[in-house]
Chain A
Amino acid sequence: MPEHFRFTRNRREFLCDAFCGFGTLAFASMLAREDARAAVRNPLAPKPPHTPDTAKAKSVIFLFMAGGPSHLETFDPKPLLNKLDGQKRPAAFGEAKYQFISKNAVLMGTKRTFQKHGASGIDVSDLLPHIAECVDDLAVIRSCHGDMVVHSAAQYQLMTGRVIPGFPSMGSWVIYGLGTEAESLPAYVVLPDPKGALEAGQPMYGNGFLPAIYQPSMFRPGRRPVLNLDLPAGVALEDRKKTLSLLRRLNEAIMQPGDEEFEARINAYDLAFKMQTEAPAIFDLSTESQETLELYGIGRQTTDDYGRRCLLARRLVERGVRFVCVVSGGGPGNLQWDAHQDIEENHLRMAAQSDQPCGALIKDLKRRGLLDSTLVMWGGEFGRSPEAEGGQGRDHHNLGFSMWLAGGGIKGGQVVGATDEIGLHAVEKPYHFRDVHTTILHQLGLNQDALSYMHLGRKERLTEVHGHVIQEIV
């Protein structure tokens, strides 16, 4: 059993790896010889899902609300919490560990008001009016929970299924399993918040021990979102074309016929050139209608940045990019959803930036017929504490919080699971990050056990402990 596989060393290895060791031979024989050849030349060529029946989604967009948005101010109304405002938590609700607040903290009600929306009548707070308009497409999971109460470790678990760095992110796993349909674009894109980095840093998005081909492409703010996509100053495209042609001819001059590894290298240069010439068009939003730009809030200062990135996410999945993560929040805690000091100030500001773009993305995907094949997920690494921190803030809270999924075959217009009456513990149908991961894989037609990789003697997968598909919503 290979410990690591190397792409393109030979076709036998490729066929073995391409299906992650799952029904290798059956799939291999199904593949036409020429398809296999093409795949050897481009290891990110699309691959068939493990379970075609459940493969409803082709792409994933993760709207990552970094820092931990409060469930109590968004999707999980708790009238009792308002009643108990200023009191100690009744012992019956049990214990919780927090990062900052002490045991003496008192409960804090919310100043937000909740209203039922859509045909489904799901409660959404006045913080998120645009998302509320799409509520019939959302499956709100109110019973999410994770294991860690500090940012870095919780972010690793949300992204990679482990509380320590060094493991592949969901995006890397997904493109390892499915390849990409966007030849001239990166397969897995992260659109970080230009305001700064997050606690878990780059390793949370990374390919871990998977080969570098599965690494994320971090789009940067500004004129040059993709590293090395621009020609160096003073070099014209036509000149560089000649250089590439020379390179190809020099390589071929001494190449043995049938040398697949070197063929793959030459092919990588062709693809790189294609990316270089075709990818920049994707960043040009001027081809979008004024109506679309306004839908996303582009041109309005508050929503412009997140709006642009959400629109870019749509343009990417439209062209077959497999996994896009759009991060809301970055830099010092209060520029994330990390509302330690003042939940009102923080969440009003963060929601003002992201709510309209999130809503616009759902609406835009839907009217273009893309929502059926695009799984959209919204959430953070945890929620926030029912207790007040320093009077007006809320601390981290990993024992019960909300996320939502939409599109990609998810049954919208429903709420799943529940926290207790003050939003402390997930008490009804609790779903761990691993269950969310398993559900995402399921919608893509991937199986958590089949999507595995031998590393250091262990067959590793995205979920550390076996996850369960959230059956209510698929």
Chain B
Amino acid sequence: MLTSRALLLLCAAAVYPLSASDEYAPLGSYTAAERRHWAFQKRRNPEVPVFSDAAGKAWVKTPIDAFLLEKLRKEGLEPAPPATRRILIRRVYFDLIGIPPTPAEVDSFVSDKRPGAWERVVDRLLASPHYGERWGQRWLDVVRYAETDGFEYDTHRNGAWRYRDYVIRSFNEDKPYNRFVKEQLAGDELRPGSQEFEIAAGFQRLGPLRKNAGNQEVASSRNEVLTEMTNAVGSVLLGVTLGCARCHDHKFDPIRQADYYRIQAYFAATHEREVSLASEAEQAEWKKKSGAFEEQLKKLRQSMKGLEGAAKEEIERRIKDMEARAPEPLPAIFSVSNDPARVTPVHLLSRGDHLRPGARVGMRPLGVLLEEGAPEYTAVPENPRTRLAEWITSPENPLTARVMVNRIWLGHFGRGIAAMPNDFGRMGGMPSHRELLDWLANRFVESGWRVKPLHRTILLSSAYRQSSHSPIGKAARGKDPDNKLLWKYSRRRLEAEEIRDAMLAVAGRLNLKQGGPGVMPPVDQELIDLLYKPSQWAVAPDIEEHHRRSIYLIAKRNLRLPFMEVFDAPDLQISCPRRESSTHPPQALELLNGQTANEMAEAFAARLRKEAGPSRVRQVELAYRLAVGRSPSKQESQLAVSFLRGAPLREFTLAVLNLNEFLYVN
């Protein structure tokens, strides 16, 4: 008879066929040179440069300007003149809430002669409920948020949308960033039973998930799940390419393979958990209903055996119909929890292969940021992720605040102070303004990790309010072609969501309803047929729902909306810290021939007729004011009016929705 110890060993051998060692890996050491990398150093307390000359004094409105001006002057450059109010208002609306200002909002700002007009606009927009929809999307990009599993089945995740709403809410409430991070890393540990915290902890499950039929590779799937959780800590929160150390020591940064698995060890007990929001009676009822449904479906499938041709097709059709009417899942939260009975022993894995485990490791943050020889925790504490969260959100952590401040800066200027927002390691290059980054990060932490004051500081600067045209453009481009030093504001193309939302807004069709499950709008049947399970695509019956803001449209990994795809929306598979901005013919085809564009052109035309009356001049005037926030020039007006003599209004509105000026922010 086997002793229990022998049994245990056998079990372990079954999971780890190769030489898993019970020995712990050495703690390792880090050289002084490795520790000297700028991003691993404590934040400094830089002195704000002072300017005594008139031009300098006039330009410097905030310390940001002082840091920028110092570098500009060193290069013999000057900032651009201020942008006009008309340009500014459109810029800040897209920037903060992602939709264009109405003509009345433009006028009221342009004509506001009282001091503090700009501050009032900024404060109003920061308080808008749409602010969270714009900045929440940026966070969702970084955390690779989607509402489906991806891979073969691309199963829809019940309740995953609650995380999206949580993010929007958190930005709107100006939740301190340190709390935001803690809730996502360890919400279930910190406040079990709190819906908000459990939703937040769904962060751990945002990555794609591979499920397959047949022989389940339990250990390999578990390894994939842990990999997703671990990599996110690096790319999302710390801004280091931790994932590069999964297979071997990092090639460029002082991150050892053991560091990778020591971070992974914090997740060893973490498992997925659905928290039902239904009562027990409802759950019992649902079980009955779905049981009966499955039974019926099974019978139908069995009845198909041996059938051919039309008879078979008929049953197939009935199955399809039935699948489309499957009982709605009960409301639930997509979350995680620790299971002390299922703690995965964490080993170094040779080449990241779970079948080639080496020495064991315990929990420890990144070694290069700790004292030499700092111990690891080998026993699993009750709240492992809380410990990790506390280290990450410690005011002393050199990375966390810098990384978030840099993301916010990137959102406003189109480029980070550190150019690679997910990589503050050696390959990320030096930040263009290291002192400024530290000054901002210090302020951020001092003001309680609040994001809105940070926006405000940036938006009130002269740097943000510059024109995108500089009189010294030619010379400046020669010295600083990428505008790293901010000698002007960088014009940018609107992002996919902004383009769609702006078209809906201008056409008067935007449905501003907030929150709720992701909406499936109509898409070409051919695209649905390309899904492994076409019945997954259930178009929202209410047309008004199709006109919701883009952030509320479903984020489905295996069917990205063509409109979003063509304008460089992220692929929903891996973290996207910065959007691309490409230019190519399929974009033109989408905006000229696509359904959304043509529907909105039609609606836009109807709006013009209604609000401007039959006068072509007035229609053209209103179209420009709605779409680009200004009146048309005489030349533009003449071109449009003469076009309208021989063409329908909807062709003119379509042209307006295709204008460079409509698609860009100056």
A residues with CB within 8 A of B? 1-4, 6-10, 12-13, 43-44, 97-100, 150-153, 164-166, 186, 192, 194, 196-203, 206-209, 211-213, 215, 217-218, 220-222, 224, 227-232, 235, 239-240, 242-244, 246-247, 249-251, 253-256, 261-262, 264-266, 268-269, 271-273, 275-276, 456-458
* In the complex, chain B residues 409-440 whose Cβ is within 8 Å of any chain A Cβ: 419-423, 425, 427-429
Which residues of chain B are within 8 angstroms of A264 by Cβ–Cβ distance? 583
The distance in angstroms between the C-alpha atoms of A378 and B318, with both chains bound, is: 37
Q: Which of B241, B575, B592, B659 has the most CB of A within 10 A?
A: B592
The distance in angstroms between the C-alpha atoms of A232 and B600, with both chains bound, is: 13
Interface string of B645-666 (1 = CB under 8 A from A): 0110001101110111101000
Interface: B571 (CB within 8 A): yes
* B6 CB, nearest partner CB in chain A, Å: 23
Which residues of chain B are within 8 angstroms of A9 by Cβ–Cβ distance? 581
Interface: B1 (CB within 8 A): no
The answer to whether B526 and A222 have CB atoms under 8 Å apart is yes
Interface: B63 (CB within 8 A): no
* In the complex, chain B residues 536-581 whose Cβ is within 8 Å of any chain A Cβ: 557-560, 562, 565-568, 571, 573-578, 580-581
Q: Which of B527, B586, B640 has the most CB of A within 10 A?
A: B586
The answer to whether B647 and A201 have CB atoms under 8 Å apart is no
The distance in angstroms between the C-alpha atoms of A206 and B150, with both chains bound, is: 14
The answer to whether B647 and A200 have CB atoms under 8 Å apart is no
Which residues of chain B are within 8 angstroms of A43 by Cβ–Cβ distance? 582-584
The distance in angstroms between the C-alpha atoms of A154 and B574, with both chains bound, is: 19
Given A202-B560, A206-B571, A229-B593, the answer on whether A6 and B580 have CB atoms closer than 8 Å is yes
Q: Which of A44, A268, A272, A456 has the most CB of B within 10 A?
A: A456
Q: Can you give 19 A-B contacts (C-beta < 8 A)?
A: A9-B581, A43-B584, A197-B529, A197-B530, A197-B534, A201-B559, A202-B560, A212-B566, A215-B586, A224-B526, A240-B592, A246-B643, A265-B583, A266-B660, A268-B585, A268-B587, A268-B588, A271-B588, A272-B588
The answer to whether A227 and B524 have CB atoms under 8 Å apart is yes
Number of interface residues of B (CB under 8 A): 87
The answer to whether B573 and A192 have CB atoms under 8 Å apart is no
Contact among B481, B573, B581 for A164, CB-based, below 8 A: B573
The distance in angstroms between the C-alpha atoms of A209 and B422, with both chains bound, is: 14
Q: Which of B172-180, B207-215, B287-295, B498-506 contacts A (4 or more CB under 8 A)?
A: B207-215
The answer to whether A199 and B575 have CB atoms under 8 Å apart is no
Contact among B212, B420, B654, B663 for A150, CB-based, below 8 A: B212
Which residues of chain B are within 8 angstroms of A196 by Cβ–Cβ distance? 529-530, 532, 534
Q: Which of B19-27, B117-125, B631-639 contacts A (4 or more CB under 8 A)?
A: B631-639
Interface string of B472-490 (1 = CB under 8 A from A): 0000010001100000000
The answer to whether A458 and B241 have CB atoms under 8 Å apart is yes
* A349 CB, nearest partner CB in chain B, Å: 13
Contact among B214, B530, B566, B658 for A99, CB-based, below 8 A: B214
The answer to whether A199 and B532 have CB atoms under 8 Å apart is yes
Which residues of chain B are within 8 angstroms of A151 by Cβ–Cβ distance? 152, 212
Which residues of chain A are within 8 angstroms of B584 by Cβ–Cβ distance? 7, 43-44, 212-213, 268
The answer to whether A1 and B427 have CB atoms under 8 Å apart is yes
The answer to whether B578 and A230 have CB atoms under 8 Å apart is no
The distance in angstroms between the C-alpha atoms of A268 and B481, with both chains bound, is: 24
Given A165-B151, A203-B571, A457-B427, the answer on whether A272 and B592 have CB atoms closer than 8 Å is yes
* In the complex, chain B residues 218-270 whose Cβ is within 8 Å of any chain A Cβ: 224, 235, 241, 244
Interface string of B589-620 (1 = CB under 8 A from A): 11011110010000000000000000000000
* A71 CB, nearest partner CB in chain B, Å: 20
Known contacts A192-B530, A217-B586, A250-B659, then 9 further A-B pairs from the complex at CB < 8 Å, ordered by chain A residue: A3-B420, A6-B581, A6-B582, A153-B151, A164-B208, A164-B224, A275-B589, A457-B422, A458-B427
Q: Which of A166, A251, A275 has the most CB of B within 10 A?
A: A166
* A272 CB, nearest partner CB in chain B, Å: 4
The distance in angstroms between the C-alpha atoms of A158 and B581, with both chains bound, is: 28
The answer to whether B422 and A202 have CB atoms under 8 Å apart is no
Given A152-B210, A250-B655, A456-B241, the answer on whether A199 and B152 have CB atoms closer than 8 Å is yes
Interface: B494 (CB within 8 A): no
The distance in angstroms between the C-alpha atoms of A150 and B590, with both chains bound, is: 36
Contact among A153, A215, A247, A457 for B210, CB-based, below 8 A: A153
Q: Which of A99, A251, A272, A273 has the most CB of B within 10 A?
A: A272
Q: Which of B560, B562, B577, B584 has the most CB of A within 10 A?
A: B584
* A95 CB, nearest partner CB in chain B, Å: 10
* B206 CB, nearest partner CB in chain A, Å: 13
Which residue from chain B places its CB closest to the CB of A459 in the assembled complex? Answer: B427
Interface string of B198-211 (1 = CB under 8 A from A): 00000000001010
Which residues of chain A are within 8 angstroms of B558 by Cβ–Cβ distance? 201-203
Interface: B48 (CB within 8 A): no
The answer to whether A457 and B425 have CB atoms under 8 Å apart is yes
Which residues of chain A are within 8 angstroms of B647 by Cβ–Cβ distance? 239, 242-243, 246
Which residue from chain A places its CB closest to the CB of B573 in the assembled complex? Answer: A166
The answer to whether A247 and B658 have CB atoms under 8 Å apart is yes
Given A203-B557, A253-B633, A254-B661, the answer on whether A212 and B568 have CB atoms closer than 8 Å is yes
* A87 CB, nearest partner CB in chain B, Å: 22
The distance in angstroms between the C-alpha atoms of A283 and B574, with both chains bound, is: 36
Which residue from chain A places its CB closest to the CB of B532 in the assembled complex? Answer: A197
Contact among B208, B241, B583, B639 for A268, CB-based, below 8 A: B583
The answer to whether B529 and A250 have CB atoms under 8 Å apart is no
Given A254-B661, A276-B589, the answer on whether A457 and B241 have CB atoms closer than 8 Å is yes
Q: Which of A98, A99, A265 has the most CB of B within 10 A?
A: A265
The distance in angstroms between the C-alpha atoms of A291 and B537, with both chains bound, is: 43
The answer to whether A218 and B530 have CB atoms under 8 Å apart is yes
Interface string of B295-310 (1 = CB under 8 A from A): 0000000000000000
The distance in angstroms between the C-alpha atoms of A217 and B421, with both chains bound, is: 31
The answer to whether B585 and A201 have CB atoms under 8 Å apart is no
The answer to whether A209 and B571 have CB atoms under 8 Å apart is yes
Given A99-B215, A164-B208, the answer on whether A231 and B593 have CB atoms closer than 8 Å is yes
Given A152-B152, A153-B210, A457-B420, the answer on whether A242 and B643 have CB atoms closer than 8 Å is yes
The answer to whether A212 and B580 have CB atoms under 8 Å apart is yes
* A17 CB, nearest partner CB in chain B, Å: 11
Which residue from chain A places its CB closest to the CB of B580 in the assembled complex? Answer: A211
The distance in angstroms between the C-alpha atoms of A273 and B482, with both chains bound, is: 32
Which residue from chain B places its CB closest to the CB of A12 in the assembled complex? Answer: B481
Given A99-B214, A153-B210, the answer on whether A202 and B582 have CB atoms closer than 8 Å is no
The distance in angstroms between the C-alpha atoms of A212 and B571, with both chains bound, is: 10
* A86 CB, nearest partner CB in chain B, Å: 22
The distance in angstroms between the C-alpha atoms of A239 and B650, with both chains bound, is: 11
* B520 CB, nearest partner CB in chain A, Å: 16
Given A228-B590, A456-B241, the answer on whether A201 and B582 have CB atoms closer than 8 Å is no
The answer to whether A165 and B241 have CB atoms under 8 Å apart is no
Interface: B154 (CB within 8 A): yes
Which residue from chain A places its CB closest to the CB of B427 in the assembled complex? Answer: A457
The distance in angstroms between the C-alpha atoms of A457 and B419, with both chains bound, is: 10
The answer to whether A243 and B651 have CB atoms under 8 Å apart is yes
The answer to whether A200 and B646 have CB atoms under 8 Å apart is no
Given A152-B212, A227-B562, the answer on whether A247 and B419 have CB atoms closer than 8 Å is no
The distance in angstroms between the C-alpha atoms of A166 and B231, with both chains bound, is: 14
* In the complex, chain B residues 507-547 whose Cβ is within 8 Å of any chain A Cβ: 524, 526-527, 529-532, 534
Which residues of chain A are within 8 angstroms of B575 by Cβ–Cβ distance? 456
Which residues of chain A are within 8 angstroms of B587 by Cβ–Cβ distance? 212, 268
The answer to whether A262 and B660 have CB atoms under 8 Å apart is yes
Which residue from chain A places its CB closest to the CB of B593 in the assembled complex? Answer: A228
Which residues of chain A are within 8 angstroms of B152 by Cβ–Cβ distance? 150-152, 199-201
The answer to whether A208 and B571 have CB atoms under 8 Å apart is yes
The distance in angstroms between the C-alpha atoms of A269 and B592, with both chains bound, is: 9
Which residues of chain B are within 8 angstroms of A197 by Cβ–Cβ distance? 529-532, 534
The answer to whether A228 and B571 have CB atoms under 8 Å apart is no
Contact among B224, B469, B578, B660 for A251, CB-based, below 8 A: B660
The distance in angstroms between the C-alpha atoms of A199 and B469, with both chains bound, is: 50
